Structure 1
């Protein structure tokens, strides 16, 4: 199989974009990149530290620059932060230079995955479940704009989800050949 354009994993925090993206990249023999990891490496700060020091607007500007740069490089699987796809400019860039694939995880699954982590700056609120629910309800209509989607299943291992993603990509000969 030959990947013909970069696959950009989009979706909520906790949907599995990084874990599934890594597995997809390994199965297809292409590099895996993570826009959040690239931002952290470039700034020598965590995403949470950037949010705390510079605010979300600053972070989103840097995120857009990094996504654009990463999409200029070789074809790969690229995982993005949960908010990246919300920006119309990022959606346009992803559509022009790659293909967006939404990992569609339901709210219960997301909460199960993120509730014990303190690395999610947007969930540092008095009621993180209510915050997650609000974010979810706001973002899902935007994620639905992705060209491809794969429903996350809590019973599936990462490898199973990767196979489902590859099956979805295979429906698009302009994205995955063979």
Structure 2
């Protein structure tokens, strides 16, 4: 690859952005980043703690700064947080600085993949996870679609197969 292109993965929690992103990065010999892990690395605390102390607004500000920094790099694969697309600035930077891949996932799969995960603050409420995920999908899915260069469903095959499908669609 003469030009180092960035691949940015967007989609809801439980879509497999981190797992699929690692496979893509490994196959294409690119560096992999996960915006949530980068926030944790920079703050020295986990996402749940950031949410508890700073609220969702504070977390989103940190997320925006991290994504802004990471999208400045060249030749990376970035798995973004599910809510990162709520920021118009983030959407603009993702669109302008790389190829955006939307990992589309049905609510049923999200529920199954996230049900035991205690590291997802938005699901740690009295509200049923399915209801939370449906409400988030209503707001976020149109934003994922708006900036996506490629849309791939992740419910019918494993992470490695999805990663290979994305690589094929990208023509790498």
* TM value normalised by structure 1: 0.90
2:135 matched to which residue of 1?
Answer: 134
Aligned length: 170
The unaligned stretches of length 5 or more in structure 2 are none
How far did residue 3 of structure 1 move?
6.5
1:17 aligns with 2:20: no
RMSD in angstroms over aligned alpha carbons? 1.4
Distance 1:108 1:3, change over 3 A: farther
Runs of 4+ with deviation above 6 angstroms? none
Residues 77-98 of structure 1, C-alpha deviation per residue, up to 9 Å, x if partnerless? 0011000122110010111211
Q: How does 1:33-72 map to 2 (within 5 A)?
A: 33-72=33-72
**CA distance in 2: counterparts of 1:163 and 1:105, whole angstroms:** 17
Residues 53-89 of structure 1, C-alpha deviation per residue, up to 9 Å, x if partnerless? 0011111111111111111123110011000122110
Residues 144-178 of structure 1, C-alpha deviation per residue, up to 9 Å, x if partnerless? 11121111124x121101111112212xxxxx4xx
2:169 matched to which residue of 1?
Answer: 168
1:4 matched to which residue of 2?
Answer: 4
**CA distance in 1: counterparts of 2:169 and 2:152, whole angstroms:** 7
Residues 28-69 of structure 1, C-alpha deviation per residue, up to 9 Å, x if partnerless? 111111111111000001111100100111111111111111
Q: Does the CA-based 8 Å contact 1:3-1:28 persist in structure 2?
A: no
Q: Secondary structure at the match of 1:144?
A: helix
* TM value normalised by structure 2: 0.93
Distance 1:151 1:143, change over 3 A: same
Q: Does the CA-based 8 Å contact 2:4-2:74 persist in structure 1?
A: no
The unaligned stretches of length 5 or more in structure 1 are 171-175
1:152 matched to which residue of 2?
Answer: 154
1:83 aligns with 2:92: no
1:114 matched to which residue of 2?
Answer: 114
